[in-house]
Amino acid sequence: MIHVVGAGLAGLAAAHALATEGRIVTLHEATPSAGGRARALADGTDNGTHALIGCNTAALGFLDSIGARQFWLEPEPDGLPVLDLADGSARTVALSPFGWWRSDRRPAGVSLGGVMAMAAMALPSEDRTIAKAMAGYPEFLRGFVDPLTIAALNTPSVEASTQRLGQILRRLGAPGATRLLVARRGLGPDLVEPALAAIGLAGGAYRPGHRLRGITQYAGRATALVFHDHETPLAAGDSVILALPPWETQRLLPDIPAPDAFAPIVNLHFAHASPGPVRFLGLLGALCQWVLVRPGGVAVTVSAGDAEADQEVEALAPRAWAEILQAVRKFGVAGDWPEAPPPCRVVKERRATPRHRPGPIPTPPRMPLANLALAGDWTWPDLPATIEAAIRSGQAAARALPG
């Protein structure tokens, strides 16, 4: 028996990998629903503007393996529409520098020197803040590098690590690597539910509402899992994967090295129907960084939202809706867009990801106990905390367990 604790994306990937190998798997989740920090809301919509890009090969392979790849689409195949609220200028930006040979697909402030400075971050070099590395190219930093940094690292350029961004940049050179993909309906119906269904079809069991209170250990092994209402002894051949956030892992295993500084993400969800198609828009100089328009509603993400995490919906919603109106009108998004903001729900994740600052990356061992492996995006040092890192870590944890 293998117990996977935590039904976020790392736990889902681990449980699926094991179940499809014929292993006996039980997936435990403390909350009523799966999805973790990239969870879907109760109505199935994303908590935010979660996207994948073409170089996320592990995540896209996972979608293939659970039969969900057809639910993901490319909303902006010609480039990302970007509106700069500072001057009202609008442009369509190719996400790959190889597309910038076209003058109408270049980001603001692009120059040969700026591109070289950005490319240098993909090479082994001193780890410093991105703002310092790009100090000579402030327009390019504002128009492209900072939005990329905030989206990929959830950390502003003034404190974000060049080496951590370099982990992303090194993956963007292959053909199709920068294709932007989103779930057509949301992470619930287009990722989490297919993953749970695939695990079930492979014979895995799912137990929501199972909070792990403690782990009993003896002689370097986990010997029992203590849940909120019962204790599960572990037989000699049993194993465990902990696929939990760093603070939960340290609660159970206090000596594990883990990040200790985190950055918030604030997401706003407007109950506004549109006829489609799905659109994905970027904004500069705005509260709204990314706007995802689906037929069932409009989602806005504010990454690295330290100030916004302390604001109430009454302050955030009118400001965000005014910016959305400017963007959808500028780019001709279909539908009726009223002046007054529709009902809005704000979801604040105060510890959404680690702060990806310069310096050593706290990296826990994959197998801290002989029969226990760790998973979670924060355990994968080769990428920042992303969906791709979560999937890779879960699959690595599954491989690490004794056969």
288 plus 349 within the same structural domain: yes
> Is 114 inside a domain boundary?
yes
172 plus 229 within the same structural domain: no
pLDDT in tens, 279-317: 999 999 999 999 999 998 999 999 999 999 999 889 999
215 plus 252 within the same structural domain: yes
pLDDT at 174: 83
Model confidence at 43: pLDDT above 70: no
- Side-chain half-sphere CA neighbours of 183 within 13 A: 26
251 plus 276 within the same structural domain: no
**Domain boundaries, position 144:** 107-176
> Is 65 inside a domain boundary?
no
Instruction: Among 320, 336, 354, identify where a domain stops.
Output: 354
Instruction: Among 151, 176, 201, identify where a domain stops.
Output: 176
Lowest mean pLDDT across 179-188, 240-249, 382-391:
179-188
Model confidence at 45: pLDDT above 70: no
Model confidence at 131: pLDDT above 90: yes
> Is 69 inside a domain boundary?
no
pLDDT at 173: 82
> Is 71 inside a domain boundary?
no
Query: What is the tally of structural domains in the chain?
Result: 3
> Which CATH number fits the domain that encloses residue 379?
3.50.50.60
> Is 326 inside a domain boundary?
yes
pLDDT in tens, 377-388: 999 999 999 999
Confidence class for position 48, pLDDT limits 50, 70, 90: low
Structure-model confidence comparison of residues 48 and 400, the more confident one: 400
Model confidence at 44: pLDDT above 60: no
Q: What is the pLDDT of the chain when averaged over all its residues? A: 94
Confidence class for position 40, pLDDT limits 50, 70, 90: low
Is 327 exposed, middle or buried, given 0-12, 13-18 or 19+ CB atoms closer than 10 A?
A: buried
pLDDT at 383: 96
DSSP state of 106: P
> Is 255 inside a domain boundary?
yes
131 plus 246 within the same structural domain: no
CA–CA separation, 324 and 281 (whole Å): 9
> Is 61 inside a domain boundary?
no
Residues near 387 by Cβ (< 8 Å), separated by ≥ 6?
Answer: 9, 38, 50, 52, 56, 59, 377
CA distance between the termini of the chain? 11
308 plus 343 within the same structural domain: yes
User: Tokens 């995540």 map to which residue?
Assistant: 59
Model confidence at 49: pLDDT above 90: no
Q: Which amino acid is present at 70?
A: Q
Model confidence at 245: pLDDT above 70: yes
Structure-model confidence comparison of residues 126 and 42, the more confident one: 126
pLDDT at 262: 96
pLDDT at 370: 97
pLDDT at 39: 72
> Is 50 inside a domain boundary?
no
148 plus 284 within the same structural domain: no
User: Tokens 């690292």 map to which residue?
Assistant: 153
81 plus 145 within the same structural domain: no
What is the arithmetic mean of pLDDT over 50-68? 96
CA–CA separation, 170 and 174 (whole Å): 9
CA 265 from centroid of its chain's CA atoms: 11
Query: Can you spell out the DSSP letters for 161-188?
Result: BHHHHHHHHTTS-STTTT-EEEESS-HI
pLDDT at 240: 98
Count of all residues that appear for the chain in the document? 403
CA–CA separation, 183 and 171 (whole Å): 22
pLDDT in tens, 265-275: 999 999 999 99
> Which CATH number fits the domain that encloses residue 269?
3.90.660.10
DSSP state of 83: E
Query: Quick check: 265 and 48 in contact, CB under 8 A?
Result: yes
What is the arithmetic mean of pLDDT over 220-230? 95
What is the arithmetic mean of pLDDT over 153-162? 97
331 plus 370 within the same structural domain: no
255 plus 266 within the same structural domain: no
209 plus 334 within the same structural domain: no
pLDDT at 46: 63
pLDDT at 47: 65
